[in-house]
A and B are shown apart, each in its own frame.
Chain A
Amino acid sequence: MTRPTRLLAAVLAVTLLASACGRDDDGGGAAEEGAQLDQGKASGEITVWAMGTEGEKLSVLAEDFMKENPDARVTVTPVPWDGAHNKISTAIAGQETPDVSMLGTTWIGEFANTGALDVVPSDLVSEQDFFPGAWETGVVDGTSYSVPWYVETRLLFVNRAAAEKAGITEAPATWEDLHAAVTALRTKGGAKWGIYLQPGQTGAWQTVMPFVWQNGGDIHDGTRFVLDAAPNVEALAYYESFYADGLSTRDRLREGEPEPKLLSGEIASFVSGPWHIGLLNELGGEGKFELWPMPAGPGEYTSFIGGSNLSVFKEADNRDGAWKFVSYLMRPDVQVRWYQTVSDLPAVQAAWDDPVLADDPLLATFGDQLDTAKAPPPIPTWEQIAAGVDTELEKIAKGATSPEAAATAMQEQASAIGTGN
C-alpha cells in the first residue's frame, strides 16, 4: 500500500469502529431492591478482596465464619491501597471480579455507575443499625449498593499540657470558641502553632467540609452543585482565618511529622481520625493528649465520616455466600471482635454498647461524633471534584486567593466536571 492509501485505510478503520460506538440512554431509574437470599448456611467458595491492614487480618474473621458455615470456603486476597482502585476498575472491565470487595466510601458512586455492583438484598441488613452518615455512602440514587463495614470520623487532638497552660477546661463548643481556644493555645499554651489544619493538597477537603456542613452549607443539593453558596464562602473564610491570624502553618506537614510535633507542643492541636490514638500512644503519648469534638457552627454539629464499605459484585460466582459473609461481618459481636483485631471502629451502632468500646472515654468522643457525621454525596466524579477543591484550599491557605474567588472556582470546576451521571 502507498502511504495515502494506508492513511485512508486507517481513517476508515477508526471511523467504522467509531460508528459502532454510541451511548445507550437509560437515564436514572427508580430505586431498586436487591433479590432476597436463600435461607440456611453459606456454602461454596467465597472470594474477598480487602485493602491494607484489613486485607491482612480479615482471614481471622473468615476462619470464624468457616467454623459456623463448614461448607463455605472464604479466600481473602489482600490488595495494597495504592493500587486498589485501579485493580478493581480493571477487574470490572475484564469481568474478573471477586465475590466481595472492600471499597473506599467515596468510590461507591463511581463503581455503582458502571453497573458492576449488586444491590444490597432487602432482607440482609437494616439501615437503622448503622450510623446514618455511613449508610448514605453506599446509597446511589436511592439504591443501596454497599454496606458500611467500619467508620472513622475527625476530631481535634489536643496537647493536654498546652491546654492546661492556656486554661482551657472544656472543649470549645462554637466556631468563636474554637478560634479563641486555638489563639490561647498559642499565646498562653506556648505552642508555636495553635492548630494544624492541612493547608490544601490531597484530602484537605476532609478537614474543611465539616466547617461547611457546620455552617449549613453543602456540596450538592440534589440537583446542582452549591459550592459557591454563602455558607460555604463563610466556612472558607473561617478556614482562612486560622492562617491569616498565624494560628496554623501554611506548609504541609508530611506523614510522620504531626505526631511528634503535637507531643512536643510545637503544634498544640490537629484534626484527625481514630488511628491517631494508636500512633500517638506508640510514641509514648499516652495521657498526654485529649480529644475535642468538632465545634458546632451556626448550622449543625457535625464532622466528616469516612471508613470502608463492603460490596458484592453482580458477576459474583457465589452471590448467596458473598452476602452471607457480609452480613456475618455486620453482626455486633463480630464488629467488636474486628475492633479488637485491627482497631477499626464499628459501623453498626449496637456494637458500641459493648463494654470494650463503651468503657473507653477516648472512643466515646468518637462515638458521639459519629451519630451526626456526614460524608460527601456518592457521585462518581467526586474524587476529581475533591482534587479541584483541594487545589483551591491550598490557594486559600497560602493566601493566594480569597474565599469568594475560591468558592466560585470550586463551583465552576465542579459544574464543568458534572456528576458523571
Chain B
Amino acid sequence: MRRTRNSRTSPAAGSALYRALTGWTFALPFTVLFLLFTAGPVAVSLVMSVTDIRSADLLDPLGVEVVGFDNYVRLFTDPKFVRACVNTAVFVGVGVPLTMALALAFALGLNSGLVRFRTAFRVGYYLPVVTSIVAISVVWRFLLQPESGLVNELLSAVGIQGPNWLNDEAFALPTLIVMAAWRNLGFAMVIFLAGLQAIPRELYEAATIDGARRWAQLRHLTVPMLAPTMLFVAVITTIAYVQYFEEPFVMTQGGPLDSTLSMAHHTYNQFGFGNYGYASAMGYVLFVVVVGLSIAWFRLLRNNVDR
C-alpha cells in the first residue's frame, strides 16, 4: 500500500501534504465540535455583551441596539454583582489553599504510614468527588440542621450552642467553603498521590544519609519535587472555585442576604431574567478573571518548576 502511494507522488511534497491531511482528518471531529459549540457561542456572547439584547428580542436577534461598554460599566455599579465578586474572591482565597493543604496532608498520610486500609481511605476521600451534589446537599442539610443536626448535636455535647449554619450570614459562606473543600479534596489528593509516587526513593535515602529530618525532607525535597503537580492542582481547583455555583445553588440559593451569591450564580440569574446582553458581559468578566488567575498561577509556580 505505502509503496504504491509513494510511487505516485513526489516523496517530499507528497508526504508533507499527506501528513497534514492525516493530521487534520484526525483533528477534524474536535475542530468542528469546538468551533460549533465552544468558539462560536463564545464569539456570539462577546457580541451580545455589547448590545442591549433581552429575551423579548428572541425572534429578531439583530433588532437590538449596540450599547458599547455600557453593560460592563453597569456591572460595577450593581451592588449585587460587587457582592458576588467579593463572595467569589473569599471562596477562592480561602477555599483553594484549604483544599490543597488538606489534600496534600491526606496524600502524605496515605503515601507513608497507612498501609493496611489504604484502599478504603482512598475510596473514602474520593467518594464525594463522584457523588451527585444533589445527594450531598440533602445529607449536609440534615447534618447542619440547627436543632437536630449531627454537627450541632456534637457541639452541644461539648457545651457549645452551634449556630444555624446555612441561615446565618456570618456562617453560610464559611460552611460552603468547608463543604467544597471536603467535596473536592479527593481529586486533588489522588493527583498528589501520583506526584508523590513519582519522586525517586533514592532522593529520600540520600537526604536521610545527609541527616535531613522528616520536616526538612518535606520542606526541601517533597514540596519542590511536587511543584509541577501543585501547579496543576492549583490551576484546576482555582478555575473550578472561581466558577463555584452548585453548592450555593442547591444549598442556599445565594442567601441569606446574598452572603453566598457567586458570580456564576448571579450570571445564571440574569440569564434567567432574560437580560442576555448584561449576563453575557458578566460571563466575560468571569472569563477574564479565570484566564488572569491561571496566568498568575503559572507565573508564580513556573520559576520553581523550571529550576
Give A contacts to B, CB under 8 Å.
Answer: 14, 17-24, 85-86, 89, 92-93, 95, 110, 113-116, 200-202, 250-252, 254, 380-381, 383-384, 387, 391, 394-395, 398, 400, 420
Contact B258 A92, beta carbon cutoff 8 Å:
no
CB distance from A357 to the nearest CB of B (A): 35
B236 to chain A, nearest CB (A): 28
Number of A-B contacts (CB under 8 A): 87
Contact, CB under 8 Å: A420 / B62: no
B64 close to chain A: CB less than 8 A: yes
Report B-chain residues with C-beta under 8 Å of the C-beta of A380: 55-56, 274
- The reply on B59 being an interface residue by CB < 8 A is yes
B256:A394 contact, CB within 8 angstroms: yes
Secondary structure of the B contact surface, majority rule: loop
Residues B17-59 near A (CB distance < 8 A): 47, 50-51, 54-59
Q: Are B63 and A23 in contact (CB under 8 A)?
A: yes
Contact in complex: B167, A251 (CB < 8 Å): yes
In Å, the complex CA distance between A201 and B248 comes to 13
For B59, what are the chain A residues with a Cβ–Cβ distance below 8 Å? Answer: 92-93, 95, 114-116
- Cβ contacts under 8 Å, A200 to chain B: 255
Shortest distance from the beta carbon of B166 to any chain A beta carbon, whole Å: 9
Q: Find chain B residues with CB under 8 A from A250 CB.
A: 167
B306 located at the interface, meaning its Cβ lies under 8 Å from any Cβ of chain A in the complex: no
Give bound CA distance, A316 to B279, whole Å.
30
- Can you offer 20 A-B residue contacts whose CB atoms are under 8 A? A18-B51, A19-B66, A20-B62, A21-B65, A21-B66, A89-B58, A89-B274, A92-B58, A92-B59, A93-B59, A95-B59, A113-B55, A114-B56, A200-B255, A250-B167, A380-B56, A383-B272, A384-B273, A394-B255, A394-B257
Given contacts A21-B64, A89-B274, A383-B273, contact A113 B56 (CB under 8 A): yes
Q: Within the assembled complex, what's the spacing in Å between the Cα atoms of A383 and B272?
A: 9
4 tightest A-B CB contacts, nearest first: A384-B273, A251-B167, A113-B56, A18-B66
In the complex, B164 has a CB within 8 A of chain A: yes
Assuming the A-B contacts A21-B65, A251-B167, are A89 and B55 also in contact, with contact meaning beta carbons closer than 8 angstroms in the complex? yes
In the complex, which residues of chain B have a beta carbon less than 8 angstroms from the beta carbon of A95? 59
When the two chains form the complex, which single residue of B57, B64, B258 contacts A391, counting CB atoms closer than 8 Å? Answer: B258
Among candidates A17, A116, A381, residue contacting B273 with C-beta atoms closer than 8 Å: A381
CB A370 to nearest CB in B, in angstroms, measures 29
**Distance in angstroms between the alpha carbons of A381 and B270 in the assembled complex:** 11
- Residues on A with C-beta less than 8 A from B63 are 21-24
Closest chain-B Cβ to A264's Cβ sits at a distance in Å of: 12
Q: For the complex, what is the distance from the CA of A92 to the CA of B47, rounded to whole Å?
A: 21
**Chain B nearest CB: distance from A199 CB in Å?**
9
Q: Is B51 within 8 A of A202, CB to CB?
A: no
- Cα–Cα distance between A188 and B57 once the two chains are bound (Å): 57
- In the assembled complex, the Cα of A92 lies from the Cα of B58 at a distance in Å of 7
Number of residues in B with C-beta < 8 Å to the partner? 32
B64 touches A114 (CB 8 A): no
In Å, the complex CA distance between A395 and B79 comes to 15
Which residue from B62, B64, B257, B275 sits with its C-beta under 8 Å from A395? B257
Chain B residues near A93: list those with CB within 8 A: 58-59, 61
Q: Does the CB pair A400–B257 fall under 8 Å?
A: yes
Residues of B within 8 A of A114 (CB): 55-59
Contact with A along B268-284 (1 / 0, CB 8 A): 01001111000000000
- Among B47, B54, B58, B164, the residue within 8 A (CB) of A251 is B164
Please give me the residue from chain A that is nearest to B53 by CB atom: A21
B contact residues around A384 at 8 Å (CB) = 273-275
Give A94's nearest chain B residue, CB to CB. B58
Q: How far is the CB of B194 from chain A (nearest CB, A)?
A: 38
Whether B256 and A398, one on each chain, are in contact in the complex, defined by CB atoms closer than 8 angstroms, is yes
B55 cross-chain contacts in A, Cβ below 8 A: 89, 110, 113-114, 380
Cβ-neighbour of A110 out of B56, B66, B164, B258 (below 8 A): B56
- On whether A252 and B167 interact (CB within 8 A), knowing A93-B61, A398-B257, the answer reads yes
A169 to B228 Cα, complex, angstroms: 74
Question: Which residue from B51, B141, B167 sits with its C-beta under 8 Å from A21?
Answer: B51
Chain A residues closer than 8 Å to B222, beta-carbon distance: none
Cβ-closest chain A residue relative to B275: A384
The complex places the Cα of A201 from the Cα of B256 at a distance, in Å, of: 8
Q: What distance in Å separates the Cβ of B69 from its nearest Cβ neighbour in chain A?
A: 13
Q: How far, in whole Å, are A176 and B66 apart by their CA atoms in the complex?
A: 53
- Considering the complex, which residues of chain B in the window 221-275 have a beta carbon less than 8 Å from any beta carbon of chain A? 253, 255-258, 269, 272-275
Query: Which A residues are in CB contact (< 8 Å) with B272?
Result: 85-86, 383
Q: Which residue of B lies closest to A380 (CB)?
A: B56
B window 51-86: CB within 8 A of A: 51, 54-66, 80
User: In the complex, A89 Cα to B167 Cα: how many Å?
Assistant: 34
Q: Does B146 contact A (CB under 8 A)?
A: yes
CB pair A201–B255 under 8 Å, yes or no, is: yes
